Structure 1
Amino acid sequence: MKKIYLSLTCLLGVFNLYAQEVFFETDYQNLAENADTALLNVSISGTLADTATIELIVLNDVSTANATTDYNFTTQVLSFAPNGSTTQSIPVTLIDNQIANPDKMLVFALQNPSNISLGANKTHVLYLFDNEKHIATPNNTLGINYATNFAIEGNNPGSEILTYSAATQRLFVMNSGNASVEILDFSNPLAISTINSIDLSAYGAGGTSVAYHNGYVAVSLAAANKTDNGKVVFLDTDGNIITNLEVGALPDMLCFTPDGNKLLVANEGEPNADYSIDPEGSIAVIDLSNGIENLNQNHVSLLNFNSFDNQKAALQAAQVRIFGPNASVSQDLEPEYITVAANSQKAWVSLQENNAYATIDLNSMQITNILPLGLKDHSLPGNTLDTSNKADSIFMANWPIKGMYMPDAIDNYTLNGVTYLVTANEGDAREYDTFEEEVNLEDLNLDPSIFPNHELLAHNDNLGKIKITNQGGDLDNDGIYEEIHVFGGRSFSIYNAETGVQVYDSGDDFERIIEEDPTYKDIFNTTDDENKLKNRSDNKGPEPEAVLVKEIANEFYAFIALERVGGFMVYNISNPNSPVFEGYFNNRSTAPGENIVGDLAPESIIYIAPNENTLEKGLLVIANEVSATVSVYTLDNNSLSTKTPVAKSNFSIYPNPASTQVYFNKPTNYRLYNMQGKLIKQANNASYLNIEDVNSGIYIIKNTEGTAQKLIVK
């Protein structure tokens, strides 16, 4: 017969041997690092028969605060005597280190009790808030200011995607709420008015995108059954329907190539609710070279991902997310947004749910590559985030989690021969009736050797509520997760388009900027339909949605719109390795409650150059989905002169306006510049300048003596 020995340690761990307990009075405190001292209140319940002792220690493997730089404390043994005080307050010295750091946790624990039992509150967390400024003062070099907004009206209005025709001074807004295109008069950008509303519900259940080029408007619409093929409808600028063509399932975005010879359509191909039908994602390429009036279905080429179906394992190993139930690569990839190179030779498409992007060769009409976008390590400096919608304070800290960038919109620019992709890292989970990847931390079986502090992490004030995927992080597929993957990057990134190497990420800038903004800190990480502090902290934070890259005055700028809190961030990205923050701009009320006014949920953003509008200033125009508004911002440092340059007696040009040639009163050397100062054409020892190939707009002509004249090209 085997003997069974029960150790005292085992018994202490299982049975409560003492009626009295020792515990922390609260489980956490919020303190600024310059609070000097924190008091830890440790209490006992009831009267003791004998003196009881307990050790008070710092859990160094859990705490992110550092001894000697953030606090001073050494392990203490607390003693409680019979008939003595039932509460002791133990001071902890805090250090104001005068350095901009992440917010930090300092975790204390009670252990090794003698003559007493441990109560429920055996740990206590000090949340230490860094009190230094983390964000540089914005430059606002462009002089951006809010100007006005315009509300879309009608039944179930929406304002999701917009485009502009400089020739007609009209905006075309995709009203996703009722499958219509709103044609707006933009001849006075400060007094927008409606011209017409074009009902396209006969062609689809919901509009998804709109684009303009050279006198024509293209609109994409999804079918009532989203797994069926959608349509693209072509209109003139008066809203007259020219033709319509069938494209792939769930067309989500469309764009013209810069040369106007092709229209590209991203067909997302989402599955139905029970995942029984999962269409292939694809890119439709519509050949426009013979004219839009002559289009027929034969001009539509559908580029698919079939050639990658046999590379599933390799793509997954490279961290391309391919995980839909029984899905092939072609079915699982979901094209979201397209950007085209300036020379119209290549295009890139974001694959949001797959955390990747694809490259398209528009000469060979082939999808040539799929590259992963990687993971963002939130345990590293500069990658802090606020993770809880339950905590009552903004806590920008590092955590042992990794973000999946998962961009929505992307754009590109070329600098010194290298093309870069700029991404708005929103994040998007798959949520269907029979398949849902979004879980909470308590739903994951974490590797205890990597996450010994699972219980603390799972607290609602920490990581207990943040949305996590169950389709990543189990690196060896044994059911135990070695990593925690969350949705979105809460940032914008810049990638080398050819190699997929990330050259820059804005880190925690967006949340830091809003946290430190004197106005919008009150609605930090709020949502798009109510003003409630932090109610999106557990779910992708500010959610970068749209991105636009423009060269203005010989500098490249990125404009990134934030779907939830609203507004947009501006960065000078002329050095892709080290962008410069220019400013954050928003137009919504901030008072708590649900009665919000202003512009809510920006979905798309366009730039209108000074020579393309009557204000003669650069304009940013934004479509805001939830408020169904179009907002206008002026670039007051990016404008034409308010006066026409005065010509000297020895310099005159005619005719003006002109459309073919402009003549000079005497031969000399001339230079034609656009209103951003870029040289467009030149003529040496000439009496005229040929402008047949110059776009309509306003230009400046200078002669050898430096005398200037404003020229209007019709």
Structure 2
Amino acid sequence: MKSNLLVAASALALTAGAAHADMTFNRIASFETIGNMAAGEDTNRATSAEIIGASEDGMTVIYTDSPLGVVGLIDLTDPKNPKAKGNVDVGGEPTSVTVIGNTAFVAVNTSPTYTAPSGKLLSIDLKDGSITGMCDLGGQPDSTAHSHAGDLVSVAIENERDEDLGDGRVGQLPAGFMVNVGVKDEALLCDSLQKIDITGLAEISPEDPEPEFVDINSLGEIAVTLQENNHIVILNAAGDVINHFSAGAVDLTRIDTVDERAALIFDQSQMGRLREPDGMQWLDDHHIMIANEGDMDGGSRSITVFHKDGTEVFESGSDFETAIIQAGHYPDKRSDAKGAEPEGMEVGTFGDTTYAFILAERASTVSVYDVTDATKPVFTQLLPSGIAPEGVIAIPSRNLFVTANEADLIEDGGVRSHVMVYELSDAAAQYPTLTSEGTDTLIGWGAISGMVGDADVAGKIYAVNDSFYGYQPTIFTIDATQTPARITDALPVTRAGHVAQKLDMEGITLDGKGGFWVASEGRTDRVIPHALYNVNADGEIEAEIGLPAELMSVETRYGFEGITKVGDTLWMPMQREWEDDPKNTVKLVSYNIETQEWGAVRYQKAEPATGWVGLSEIVAADDYFYVIERDNQIGANAVIKKIFRIPAADMVPAPLGGDLPTVSKEEVRDLIPDLKSYNGYVVDKIEGLAIDAEGEMFVSTDNDGVDDSSGETFFWSIGKM
């Protein structure tokens, strides 16, 4: 049975591997923005790295942090070890930054209301963080850019609309405009400030332009996107409009436009979708590239290249999302909105190659394109970023680029905002570690939970997704002999010929007959039963086994996390304590397939420093059972991400409801150093463990379906055990 998540894949993304040059970008470091807070400051306050710039020598980066009302400085002398240089209070909400030499020019929103917009442009010395100048902008600023000669800063004064007013559409005055400010010897010349009227140009609400993003080419020509107006304006250095044109629309196919079904099905289309570009960059003196995020009505999920005369020369269409889908980063919960949302952008020339770096806000990725020929962009790499990348700066002189990632999930106990550093070097691409690239059809995936190795074929792994994709329970086949590991097939799990509902697959093992046993964690509050399922080779559920009364009488939310089979007995770890478990212990539950008898042993887990500690996988091999024990902490707070082994001789189940023997355990591997080697933040969910036919052990992480997550999935081998 073929899955309906398989549709024709684009040649652009599927052949991307062939386009990779010997030089590749890899992430080399991350900087948590709370590191810039002074001693004694409340680090429980939200921070956010949004727009980012760099000094001329590339040794210092500066980012805007609107929640704190500051700009943050980072010492990048050693790019693999970024160091805090502190925050500078800017007296408002910083919206953008551009750097000339060693001076940062920061736009600051000081508007008391939407109808009384105001703002200022500050100059800040990056050596000591001192504010050296200030110009009143006369409105609410958004983006900034500077001329190649360093004698001009251009500011987009958005005067953004109130989205809660009426129907939230443009047509809300005061109108936005552009501002040019002269610069001499890195000092602001406020007396030269020029206000540039750009009303009457766009077809959509010409009376109310909302300029969004600005960039300047080497000829001094200023390009600006009017996002909600779906328009692009080209000015000369004197502020004259030399051209303007609609950003137009695009027909999209092979996309997912529905999120309610919790499934990755790329068989929909949208015709005539307005682009509504956000980020924009000159690729050379004649062509601009736009990132079509959308906002009010549009969002084509694509990137487009225009000649400055308004001629469209390249359109990615849905190909922009293809590599994101293949790497497991597609944000399904945004399917009914704007998908991956390409937003921020940067262009830099490294040696003889010019690259465009396009940020996908909702997928938390960087798509790298070779744009040496501006009319024929070629996709080369997909890189992971922090959550919700907003800004990016290229530092070609040091073979670096740096991203600013705005999401700070402190309120949800999640990861903090980060700045991330990438280097171009003669090295293999470290990411992705798991991909569906290379198949004849497009396979979407995410939220990988349990895994098991094939009994006969080395490097062949089976994995399941969890209830995040409630309408698409799937068994994936992974070829781990390739780098990156490849998902080669996706088998839907069915019941009576239809997609099986009410599953939370957290473990998979072989049944010895060509099929599988699957453990469903279950949640009674969501009417998902705790159960075991026997699934045949075609994906059809042949048997369902519910939990006995002795277990259900003490049930809590956190159930089976993993499953393995030894002889006629299935073993399943409970993730956390149930009502009859002593503190910091969990059951390893057994079920004999032939006798239908249940039993258990007890496992002593670590005392959590913060949050909770639980089990998330089990696999048996030779004379041991291996389990993953982890805390629910993320980033700098992560402490316990480990593999332990239990002697098989200890796994003698006792009847449920009575005293249970406690097994012994031995630490096999601390996985935190492995996770740190990817140079991002330490993810929380180590969920998959498998041993292949030759005894090699593989580990994987669960990316939560890119929901409040960076979307990163790490799949790696830790060798033969």
TM-score normalised by length of structure 2: 0.53
Matches within 5 A, 1:694-705: none
Residue in 1 that maps onto 2:176:
281
Q: Which amino acid aligns with 1:547?
A: M
Residue in 2 that maps onto 1:660:
none
1:129 aligns with 2:6: yes
Distance 1:625 1:281, change over 3 A: same
Aligned residue among 619, 624, 628 for 2:417:
628
Gaps of 5+ in 1: 1-30, 34-126, 323-328, 430-468, 470-486, 526-533, 588-598, 613-617, 640-714
Residue in 1 that maps onto 2:20:
140
Give yes or no for contact 1:248–1:282 (8 Å, CA) kept in 2: no
SS in 2 for 1:399: strand
Matches within 5 A, 1:308-319: 308=200, 315-316=202-203
Aligned residue among 312, 331, 334 for 2:210:
334
SS in 1 for 2:219: coil
In the aligned structure 1, how far is the partner of 2:89 from the partner of 2:347?
31
Residue in 1 that maps onto 2:534:
none
Q: Which amino acid aligns with 1:288?
A: V
In the aligned structure 2, how far is the partner of 1:395 from the partner of 1:577?
31
Aligned residue among 51, 59, 72 for 1:169:
59
SS in 2 for 1:542: coil
Deviation at 1:427, TM superposition (A): 0.4
SS in 1 for 2:321: helix
Q: Which amino acid aligns with 1:542?
A: A
Q: Which amino acid aligns with 2:263?
A: S
Q: Which amino acid aligns with 1:572?
A: D
Give the aligned length. Answer: 399
Residue in 2 that maps onto 1:373:
247
In the aligned structure 1, how far is the partner of 2:318 from the partner of 2:281?
21
Residue in 1 that maps onto 2:290:
423
Distance 1:578 1:224, change over 3 A: closer
Deviation readout 1:479-537 (Å, 9 max, x if unpaired): xxxxxxxx21111111111x2111111111232222222xx2xx422xxxxxxxx1001
In the aligned structure 2, how far is the partner of 1:365 from the partner of 1:577?
27
Residue in 2 that maps onto 1:65:
none
In the aligned structure 2, how far is the partner of 1:570 from the partner of 1:393?
27
Matches within 5 A, 1:51-130: 129-130=6-7
In the aligned structure 2, how far is the partner of 1:516 from the partner of 1:578?
22
Deviation at 1:365, TM superposition (A): 2.3
Deviation at 1:398, TM superposition (A): 4.5
SS in 2 for 1:299: strand
Q: Which amino acid aligns with 2:183?
A: L
Matches within 5 A, 1:1-80: 32=2
In the aligned structure 1, how far is the partner of 2:292 from the partner of 2:139?
24
Give yes or no for contact 1:548–1:606 (8 Å, CA) kept in 2: yes
1:606 aligns with 2:379: no
1:402 aligns with 2:272: yes
Matches within 5 A, 1:224-263: 224-225=111-112, 226=114, 227-237=116-126, 238-263=128-153
Distance 1:366 1:635, change over 3 A: same
Deviation at 1:242, TM superposition (A): 1.2
Gaps of 5+ in 2: 38-44, 408-415, 429-721
In the aligned structure 2, how far is the partner of 1:292 from the partner of 1:548?
23
1:524 aligns with 2:299: no
Deviation at 1:171, TM superposition (A): 1.1
SS in 1 for 2:421: strand
Deviation at 1:260, TM superposition (A): 0.7
Residue in 1 that maps onto 2:156:
266
TM-score normalised by length of structure 1: 0.53
SS in 2 for 1:514: helix
Deviation at 1:277, TM superposition (A): 5.9
1:547 aligns with 2:358: no
Deviation readout 1:388-425 (Å, 9 max, x if unpaired): 002243222243532111111100122xxx61101111
Give yes or no for contact 1:559–1:569 (8 Å, CA) kept in 2: yes
Give yes or no for contact 1:32–1:130 (8 Å, CA) kept in 2: no
In the aligned structure 2, how far is the partner of 1:548 from the partner of 1:168?
15
SS in 1 for 2:333: coil
In the aligned structure 1, how far is the partner of 2:318 from the partner of 2:50?
27
Matches within 5 A, 1:489-638: 489-497=300-308, 499-517=309-327, 520=328, 523-525=329-331, 534-587=332-385, 599-609=386-396, 611-612=397-398, 618-626=399-407, 627-637=416-426
Q: Which amino acid aligns with 2:422?
A: Y
Provide the alpha-carbon RMSD of the alignment.
Answer: 2.3
In the aligned structure 2, how far is the partner of 1:168 from the partner of 1:516?
33
In the aligned structure 2, how far is the partner of 1:128 from the partner of 1:218?
48
Distance 1:395 1:184, change over 3 A: same
Give yes or no for contact 2:56–2:102 (8 Å, CA) kept in 1: no
Deviation at 1:569, TM superposition (A): 0.6
In the aligned structure 1, how far is the partner of 2:25 from the partner of 2:188?
43
**Identity among equivalent pairs (%):** 25
Deviation at 1:294, TM superposition (A): 6.6
Deviation readout 1:548-602 (Å, 9 max, x if unpaired): 1222222222111110110111111233343222011114xxxxxxxxxxx1111
Distance 1:278 1:215, change over 3 A: same
Distance 1:638 1:248, change over 3 A: farther
Give yes or no for contact 1:271–1:279 (8 Å, CA) kept in 2: no
Aligned residue among 82, 98, 105 for 1:218:
105
Aligned residue among 241, 254, 269 for 1:384:
254
Give yes or no for contact 2:324–2:363 (8 Å, CA) kept in 1: no
Residue in 2 that maps onto 1:648:
none
SS in 1 for 2:28: strand
Residue in 2 that maps onto 1:123:
none
In the aligned structure 1, how far is the partner of 2:262 from the partner of 2:57?
52
- Higher radius of gyration, 1 or 2: 1
SS in 1 for 2:426: strand
